[in-house]
Amino acid sequence: MEPAADSNPTNQSNAGSKIASNPSSLGSTPPPTEQDLMQNIPGHPVHAPSFCEFALQNLPSAPPASLARREAILPTELQEITTEEFDRSIKEAARSTQAILALKLPQSCKHKAQDLVSSIKQSKRKWEETSIVPDDEDIKIAR
Protein backbone atom coordinates (compact mmCIF):
# COMPACT_ATOMS: atom_id res chain seq x y z
CA MET A 1 0.00 0.00 0.00
CA GLU A 2 1.34 3.42 -0.94
CA PRO A 3 1.57 6.26 1.57
CA ALA A 4 -1.09 8.85 1.31
CA ALA A 5 -0.15 11.69 -0.97
CA ASP A 6 -0.27 15.18 0.47
CA SER A 7 -1.94 17.97 -1.34
CA ASN A 8 1.49 19.64 -1.45
CA PRO A 9 4.12 17.14 -2.63
CA THR A 10 6.97 19.51 -1.65
CA ASN A 11 6.64 19.55 2.11
CA GLN A 12 10.21 20.78 2.42
CA SER A 13 9.58 24.02 0.56
CA ASN A 14 6.67 24.68 2.84
CA ALA A 15 8.89 24.12 5.86
CA GLY A 16 11.57 26.34 4.33
CA SER A 17 9.15 29.17 3.79
CA LYS A 18 8.03 28.89 7.41
CA ILE A 19 11.64 29.22 8.57
CA ALA A 20 12.33 32.17 6.26
CA SER A 21 9.19 33.98 7.38
CA ASN A 22 9.99 33.45 11.07
CA PRO A 23 13.17 35.43 11.88
CA SER A 24 13.35 34.08 15.45
CA SER A 25 14.03 30.60 14.06
CA LEU A 26 17.26 31.86 12.43
CA GLY A 27 18.93 32.41 15.77
CA SER A 28 20.95 35.52 16.56
CA THR A 29 22.91 35.73 13.29
CA PRO A 30 22.16 39.08 11.65
CA PRO A 31 21.67 39.31 7.91
CA PRO A 32 24.81 40.16 5.91
CA THR A 33 25.60 43.79 5.32
CA GLU A 34 26.24 45.27 1.92
CA GLN A 35 29.97 45.23 2.68
CA ASP A 36 29.81 41.51 3.57
CA LEU A 37 28.07 40.79 0.29
CA MET A 38 30.64 42.77 -1.70
CA GLN A 39 33.54 40.92 -0.05
CA ASN A 40 32.00 37.55 -0.84
CA ILE A 41 31.24 38.24 -4.50
CA PRO A 42 33.95 36.75 -6.74
CA GLY A 43 35.60 39.15 -9.11
CA HIS A 44 36.36 41.82 -6.53
CA PRO A 45 39.98 41.12 -5.50
CA VAL A 46 41.23 42.54 -2.24
CA HIS A 47 43.70 45.33 -2.87
CA ALA A 48 47.17 44.55 -1.49
CA PRO A 49 48.99 47.68 -0.30
CA SER A 50 52.13 48.80 -2.07
CA PHE A 51 55.37 48.79 -0.13
CA CYS A 52 55.10 52.53 0.48
CA GLU A 53 51.52 52.20 1.74
CA PHE A 54 52.55 49.34 4.00
CA ALA A 55 55.65 51.12 5.34
CA LEU A 56 53.83 54.38 6.01
CA GLN A 57 50.86 52.90 7.88
CA ASN A 58 50.04 54.64 11.14
CA LEU A 59 50.74 51.63 13.34
CA PRO A 60 51.92 52.14 16.91
CA SER A 61 55.61 51.40 17.05
CA ALA A 62 57.71 50.35 19.99
CA PRO A 63 60.08 52.99 21.36
CA PRO A 64 63.67 52.60 20.18
CA ALA A 65 65.89 50.48 22.38
CA SER A 66 68.36 52.26 24.59
CA LEU A 67 71.95 52.17 23.40
CA ALA A 68 73.36 52.53 26.92
CA ARG A 69 72.23 49.35 28.67
CA ARG A 70 72.78 48.84 32.38
CA GLU A 71 72.72 45.04 32.31
CA ALA A 72 74.20 42.49 29.94
CA ILE A 73 72.13 41.70 26.86
CA LEU A 74 73.53 38.19 26.57
CA PRO A 75 74.64 35.96 29.42
CA THR A 76 77.99 35.49 27.64
CA GLU A 77 78.95 39.17 27.70
CA LEU A 78 82.39 39.66 29.28
CA GLN A 79 82.56 41.14 32.75
CA GLU A 80 85.58 43.26 33.58
CA ILE A 81 86.82 42.99 37.17
CA THR A 82 89.96 44.04 39.02
CA THR A 83 92.74 41.68 40.09
CA GLU A 84 91.79 42.21 43.73
CA GLU A 85 88.15 41.40 43.05
CA PHE A 86 89.17 38.22 41.20
CA ASP A 87 91.37 37.13 44.11
CA ARG A 88 88.58 37.83 46.61
CA SER A 89 86.07 35.91 44.49
CA ILE A 90 88.36 32.89 44.13
CA LYS A 91 89.08 32.81 47.88
CA GLU A 92 85.38 33.14 48.77
CA ALA A 93 84.45 30.39 46.31
CA ALA A 94 87.10 28.09 47.81
CA ARG A 95 85.75 28.76 51.33
CA SER A 96 82.18 28.15 50.18
CA THR A 97 83.00 24.85 48.51
CA GLN A 98 84.86 23.68 51.62
CA ALA A 99 81.75 24.52 53.65
CA ILE A 100 79.61 22.53 51.20
CA LEU A 101 81.97 19.56 51.50
CA ALA A 102 81.61 19.70 55.30
CA LEU A 103 77.82 19.28 55.07
CA LYS A 104 76.13 15.90 55.31
CA LEU A 105 75.06 15.51 51.69
CA PRO A 106 74.63 12.60 49.28
CA GLN A 107 77.83 11.42 47.62
CA SER A 108 76.67 12.71 44.21
CA CYS A 109 76.49 16.24 45.66
CA LYS A 110 79.87 15.88 47.33
CA HIS A 111 81.41 14.74 44.03
CA LYS A 112 80.07 17.84 42.30
CA ALA A 113 81.38 20.04 45.11
CA GLN A 114 84.79 18.36 44.79
CA ASP A 115 84.72 19.02 41.03
CA LEU A 116 84.00 22.67 41.83
CA VAL A 117 86.96 22.78 44.25
CA SER A 118 89.22 21.41 41.50
CA SER A 119 87.89 23.88 38.94
CA ILE A 120 88.44 26.83 41.30
CA LYS A 121 91.99 25.72 42.09
CA GLN A 122 92.74 25.26 38.38
CA SER A 123 91.41 28.73 37.50
CA LYS A 124 93.44 30.30 40.31
CA ARG A 125 96.60 28.44 39.24
CA LYS A 126 96.19 29.50 35.57
CA TRP A 127 95.73 33.12 36.61
CA GLU A 128 98.78 33.09 38.90
CA GLU A 129 101.00 31.41 36.30
CA THR A 130 99.95 33.26 33.14
CA SER A 131 97.92 36.30 34.26
CA ILE A 132 95.47 35.32 31.53
CA VAL A 133 91.86 34.21 31.83
CA PRO A 134 90.60 32.43 28.68
CA ASP A 135 87.90 34.25 26.69
CA ASP A 136 85.43 31.43 27.21
CA GLU A 137 85.43 32.18 30.95
CA ASP A 138 83.38 35.38 30.40
CA ILE A 139 85.68 37.44 32.65
CA LYS A 140 88.31 40.00 31.76
CA ILE A 141 90.64 41.11 34.53
CA ALA A 142 91.68 44.75 34.38
CA ARG A 143 95.15 45.62 35.65
All structural domains of the chain with their residue ranges: 79-132
Distance separating alpha carbons of residues 94 and 101, to the nearest angstrom: 11
- Contacts of 40 by beta carbon, 8 Å cutoff, 6+ apart: 32
Per-residue pLDDT, 16 = 47
Closest CA to 113 of 97, 95, 99: 97
Residue of 36, 20, 138, 27 whose CA lies nearest to 89: 138
pTM of the predicted protein model: 0.42
Give the pLDDT confidence score for residue 34 in this predicted structure. Answer: 86
pLDDT, residue 66, reads: 63
- pLDDT tens digits in sequence order for the chain, 143 residues long: 555 555 554 444 454 445 555 555 556 888 988 888 877 776 656 678 788 887 777 666 666 666 666 665 555 566 777 888 888 888 999 999 999 999 998 999 899 999 999 998 988 888 888 877 766 666 677 76
**Alpha-carbon torsion, ordered 115, 121, 124, 126, to 10 deg:** -80
Return all residues near 20 (Cβ < 8 A) that are at least 6 apart: none
DSSP 84: H
Q: Which residue(s) pair with 79 in the sheet?
A: 139
Distance in angstroms (rounded) separating the CA atoms of residues 21 and 15 = 10
State the burial class of residue 135 (Cβ atoms within 10 Å of its Cβ: 0-12, 13-18, 19+).
exposed
d(CA 13, CA 131): 95
